[in-house]
Amino acid sequence: MSAWTPVCRLADLAVERGAAALLATSGEPEQIALFRMTDDEVLAVQQLDPYSGANVMARGIVGTRGGELTVAGPVYKQVFSLRTGRCLDAAGYTPRYGLPGDLTTYPARVVDGVVMVGSTGETSGGMRG
């Protein structure tokens, strides 16, 4: 996890509202969703919503469940942990196209007002990596 890619300025992100970004490392750029919290921490997960197959996670509603920061899938309302990517509530659906039901998370940090995202994705369940 050595490569940090600058993606945007913190000021480009609205508080508690996601934004999609392209993460160019090597090969195809990855689509990620960035979330700026009330304390200006930034969390990053995959932009692909496994339950709809559409690239929309950044457009979900941010909130908490039992103290855990969450984002709700905007299409079929699954709830995911923003920190671990784990699906906390599948809302009665199964993922599309055999996709893993949890989200890949990306390490993210803010340096001098710039949002940096780690180049290596991780999943909570270790299903892919």
Partner 1 sequence: MVAQRLVEALRTRDTGTWRVTVFAEEPRRPYDRVALTSYFSARDASQLALGDPALWEDPLVTLHLDRAVVAIDRESRTVRDRLGHVTPYDALVLATGSSAAVPPIEGADLGGVFVYRTIDDVAALRGWVTAQEAEAPTVRGKKRPVRGAVIGGGLLGLEAAGALRAMDAQATVIQFGTHLMDAQLDLGGGQALERLIRARGIDVRTSTATAAFRPRRGTRDVGRLDFAGGGRLDADVVVLATGVRPRDELAREAGLEIGPRGGAVVDLTCRTADPAIYAVGEVACIQGSCIGLVAPGYAMAEVVADQLLGGQGVFPGADTATKLKLTGVDVASFGDAHGRTPDAVEVVWADPVAGVYKKLVLADDARTLLGGVFVGDAEPYASLRPLLGGELPGDPSAFLLPAAADGAAKPEIALPDDATVCSCNNVTAGTIRAAVTEKGCTDLAGVKACTRAGTSCGSCLPLVKRLTTTELAKAGVAVSTALCEHFDLSRAQLFDAVRVVELRTFSAIIDRFGRVPDGADGPGRGCDICRPVIASILASLGSGHVLAGEQAALQDTNDHALANLQKDGTYSVVPRMPGGEVSPDGLIVIGQIARDFGLYTKVTGGQRIDLFGARIDQLPEIWGRLVEAGFESGHAYGKALRTVKSCVGSTWCRYGVQDSVGMAVNLELRYRGLRSPHKLKLGVSGCARECAEARAKDVGIIATDKGWNVYVGGNGGFTPRHAQLLAEDLDDAALVRTVDRFLMYYVRTADRLQRTAAWIEEVDGGLDGVRAVVMDDSLGIAADLDAAMAAHVAGYQDEWKAVLDDPEKLARFASFVNAPSTPDPDLAYVLERGQRRPARPGEREAVLVAGAVLPVLPVRTETAR
Q: C-alpha 49: how far from its chain's center?
A: 10
Which position among 3, 113, 125, 127 is part of the footprint of partner 1 (CB under 8 A)? 113
> Which of the stretches 59-67, 99-107, 118-126 binds partner 1 when contact is defined by CB under 8 A?
59-67
How far from 44 is each of 27, 41, 47, 92, CA to CA, in Å? 20, 10, 9, 25
> What strands, in cross-sheet order, belong to the sheet with 30-36?
19-23, 30-36, 42-46, 104-106, 122-123
Does residue 39 touch partner 1 according to CB under 8 A? no
Number of chain residues interacting with partner 1 (CB under 8 A): 45
Does residue 88 touch partner 1 according to CB under 8 A? no
SS3 content of the chain, % helix, strand, coil (to 5): 5, 45, 50
- Closest by CA position to 95, among listed 44, 46, 54, 126: 54
Which position among 1, 2, 26, 97 is part of the footprint of partner 1 (CB under 8 A)? 97
Shortest distance, position 47 Cβ to partner 1, whole Å:
9
Nearer to partner 1, 2 or 38 (CB): 38
Total count of residues recorded for the chain: 129
- Closest by CA position to 91, among listed 102, 71, 77, 72: 77
Does residue 92 touch partner 1 according to CB under 8 A? no
Does residue 6 touch partner 1 according to CB under 8 A? yes
Applying CB under 8 A, the residues found at the interface with partner 1 are 5-9, 12-17, 19-22, 24, 29, 31, 34, 38, 52-56, 59-67, 69-70, 72, 74-75, 77, 79, 97, 112-114
